[in-house]
Amino acid sequence: MFKYLAFLLVLCLLSFSIQAQSSFRGLIENELVTQDGFSVEYRVMNHQSRDVGKKGTHERYEVRLSVTNESSRQANRVFTEYRQGNTSLKAPVIVEVSCRNATGARLTSKVAEFSATVRYLDYKRKRNNGPDDVEANWETISVPTGFFWDVGNRQENTLIFIVPEGESPELEFRVNPIF
């Protein structure tokens, strides 16, 4: 009886963890693909075949990626607290686009990441114990309020992929379940 319940518990946890992760979806050039409210498309801006000496001939693609929030709500995470001196705010990656067959040679790309932006609110506080009506006694600081990606907001990035000879970039993307 205990082994049966333990097996069911492991099976439930495994199925939950599989559903919690977004899977990658393939992209086709000049075709808009939507997942979880985010639309991704790409187009090839430039294509060249290059001989790389001993490594042979490779295809070099300059690709423009475009990601748009087309959901009915903005993607956001509002901070519940703020700690002074927290200057290392890194916005979470929402959409990740990767090229399966990219070599990454010569410092070219294999992955592109699209993140939300940090929003700030100006906050005026008293600097010293002087009189309130003197402007020099006050200072304005920018306090981060959260990460946001508004509805309809579009981000673009141009990348260079080097792929083996005779192949074209095989791009795929996923939307990270952050919000």
Average pLDDT, the chain: 81
- The top-scoring range by mean pLDDT among 1-10, 21-30, 63-72, 120-129 is 63-72
Could you report how far apart the first and last alpha carbons of the chain are, in Å? Answer: 39
Contacts of residue 138, Cβ cutoff 8 Å, sequence gap at least 6: 124, 125, 126, 127
Q: Where are the domains of the chain?
A: 21-117+148-175
**What is the arrangement of strands in the sheet containing 117-126, beginning at the earlier edge strand?**
75-78, 138-149, 117-126
Residue pLDDT, tens place only, 155-164 = 999 999 999 9
Whether 60 and 107 have beta carbons less than 8 Å apart is answered as: no
Half-sphere exposure of 22 (CA within 13 A, CB side): 20
- Mean per-residue pLDDT, 10-24: 47
